[in-house]
Copies of this chain bind each other. A is one copy, B any other.
Amino acid sequence: MNKQTSPSPPHSLKRLLHKKVIPFLIVILIGFVIWIIPHPDEVSAEAWQLLAIFVATIVGVVVKPLPIGAIAIIAMSFATLTKTLTLENVLGGFSNNVVWLVLFAFFIARGFIRTGLGTRIAYIFVAILGKKTLGLSYGLVATEFILSPAIPSVTARAGGVVFPVLQSLARSFGSDPEHQTQKKIGAYLTKVIYQASVISSTMFLTAMAANPVVVTLTKQAGYSISWGKWALGALVPGLISLIFMPYFIYKIYPPQIKDTPDAPKIAKEHLSQMGPLKKEEWMMLGIFILLLILWIFGPFLSMHATVAAMIGVSLLLILGVIHWHDVIKDDKAWNTFIWFATLIMLASYLNNLGLVSWFSKQMVVAVGGMPWQGAFALLAFIYFYSHYFFASNLAHVGAMYPAFLMVALGVGTPPGLAIPVLAYSSSLFGGLTHYGSGPAPLFYGSGYVSVKSWWYVALMVSFLNIIVWFGFGSIWWKLLGFW
């Protein structure tokens, strides 16, 4: 085992009993209440128990009686102990390829930091746009946006490509969770870039893995969506939200560092001090470009983004750009690995055990007989915010999209309105939580944004997105003659 750098036992015990006991009681109480509610006949006891465990876990993640990873382990134990899930079910999440893509993204980011390439790229950004924090955020948003049609894995794109630069940028401004300086600039940039990745995922059919699934499911309902039509429908709302979102977050979740008039000059000096690219920076750059290529052409090579990342990490290890002993010391990576795998697993069984389909059926009943405007608004609202119960866009789409589209059309919603609203919601809702989409755990795991801030800002941005995408959007689609 490694060195013992931890508070003395009795101390931690006191902390537990005094400060931790209330959150604990909240979690247990909420879980218990749901647990004892008699489950509907259509829902199995296991499914209902799992709902109780899942909700309690999410509450635990928010009120934090213990670190999120510890809560995940406890949730796993409780689920197996109560025979709600089997040991195999519970451990299954650790083979999930998105979880591994996130883990590998952590390792790749490490390479950017070790070699100094990340810092260099950050300084280049600063040198060009560094006068104002807002300018920087737009620079990163633009990067994310330009790559989005090309890299169909949002986790690879936002996590593997933009995230390392974002990290180095924050560090170059002395913003680092290790030193409690997240608020300086890192927290703001993290939220903005993450939300940008959500929006750009929505704008192109090829910007996120779940989008093609949406198209397939829509086709099964009898309507076809082309790449162009998807992009056209998303163009105006997408651009508007990409333009307003960074400023919006700037207002509701401002960075401490706003104006940095001298930053460009300083950045240029740093760059000149750094001199030409070091040998290891060249190697990092080369592997990074290879990764870009593999992520862009992966679909044609039928290579999964996680395989590409695995190859990238292997090359980094072989060339000594990253060292294994650094990689395994990356506690943030392992922490994320544990809790994200657990949440994905719990959420997927909520679906597999039939809770979601039961819930969807209740919806059908609920909105029956309403005028289509009201019915559809309710459906869309529920479809969007039910994402608090999912740890993957793909899972959410697969579980709810067909049912909700069917009902929406059933109550008489014009297809040209129902389809874009539900289709675009299918990636927009990924922004809500720190586990709601592939890259989320990575951005959250870097430690810049607390759970509470994450959920607050995300909720606000979701309102903005809904207004822009479905308010202005519906007008835009009317103009386009979609409906």
Chain A interface residues (CB < 8 Å from chain B) = 1-7, 9-10, 12-13, 15-16, 24, 66-67, 69-70, 73-74, 76-78, 80-81, 87-88, 91-97, 100, 106, 109-110, 113-115, 167, 178, 278-280, 304, 306-307, 310-311, 313-314, 317-321, 323-335, 338, 446
Residue numbers in B under 8 Å from A319 (CB-CB): 13, 16
Residue from the list B13, B81, B326 in contact with A320, Cβ < 8 A = B13
Nearest chain B CB to A48 CB, angstrom units: 21
User: Which residues of B have CB within 8 Å of A280?
Assistant: 9-10, 13
Once the chains are docked, how many angstroms separate the CA of A330 from the CA of B332?
Answer: 12
* A317 lies within 8 A of B6 (CB): no
| Known A-B contacts A2-B332, A314-B73, A332-B2; A12 and B87 likewise in contact (beta carbons under 8 Å) | no
What is the bound-complex CA distance between A232 and B313, given in angstroms? 53
B97, A317: Cβ atoms closer than 8 Å: no
Q: How far is the CB of A447 from chain B (nearest CB, A)?
A: 9
Give the CA-CA distance A63 to B6 in the complex, in Å.
36
Query: Contact between A15 and B320 (Cβ–Cβ < 8 Å)?
Result: yes
A73 to B318, CA, bound (A): 10
| Residues of chain B lying within 8 A (CB to CB) of residue A279 | 9-10, 13
**Do residues B70 and A324 form an inter-chain contact, with CB atoms below 8 A?**
yes
Q: How many copies does the complex hold?
A: 2
**A77 touching B310 by the CB < 8 A rule?**
yes
Q: Can you name 12 A-B residue pairings with CB atoms under 8 Å?
A: A2-B329, A2-B331, A9-B114, A10-B279, A12-B320, A13-B320, A15-B320, A24-B318, A70-B318, A73-B310, A74-B318, A334-B334
Nearest CB of chain B from residue A119's CB, rounded to whole Å = 11
Within 8 Å by CB of A278, from B10, B94, B338, B446, lies: B10
Which one of A278, A318, A320, A334 has the highest number of Cβ atoms from chain B below 10 Å of its Cβ? A320
- With A9-B114, A9-B115, A87-B304 given, name 15 new contacts (CB 8 A): A1-B110, A4-B113, A4-B114, A6-B323, A66-B318, A70-B318, A70-B324, A73-B310, A77-B311, A81-B307, A94-B94, A324-B335, A325-B331, A328-B331, A334-B334
Q: Name the distance in Å between A318's Cβ and chain B's nearest Cβ.
A: 7
Instruction: Judge whether B95 and A88 touch: CB under 8 Å.
Output: yes
| Contact of A1 with B109 in the complex, beta carbons under 8 Å | yes
Contacts of A77 in B (CB 8 A): 307, 310-311, 313-314
| Cβ–Cβ contact B314 & A74, under 8 A | yes
With both beta carbons as reference points, the residue of chain B lying nearest to A76 in the complex is identified as B310
Q: Which single member of B1, B69, B306, B331 contacts A87 (CB below 8 Å)?
A: B306
* The one of B24, B69, B278, B325 that contacts A324, using a Cβ cutoff of 8 Å: B69
Q: How far is the CA of A329 from the CA of B445 in the complex (A)?
A: 15
Q: Give the Cβ gap from A3 to chain B, nearest Cβ, in Å.
A: 7
Q: Which of B24, B81, B96, B114 contacts A6 (CB 8 A)?
A: B114
Q: Is the CB of B97 within 8 A of A87?
A: yes
Contact indicator B1/A106 (Cβ below 8 Å): yes
User: Does A67 contact B338, Cβ atoms closer than 8 Å?
Assistant: no
Which of B69, B317, B329 contacts A73, CB < 8 Å? B317
Chain B residues with Cβ below 8 Å from A6 are 114, 323, 325-326
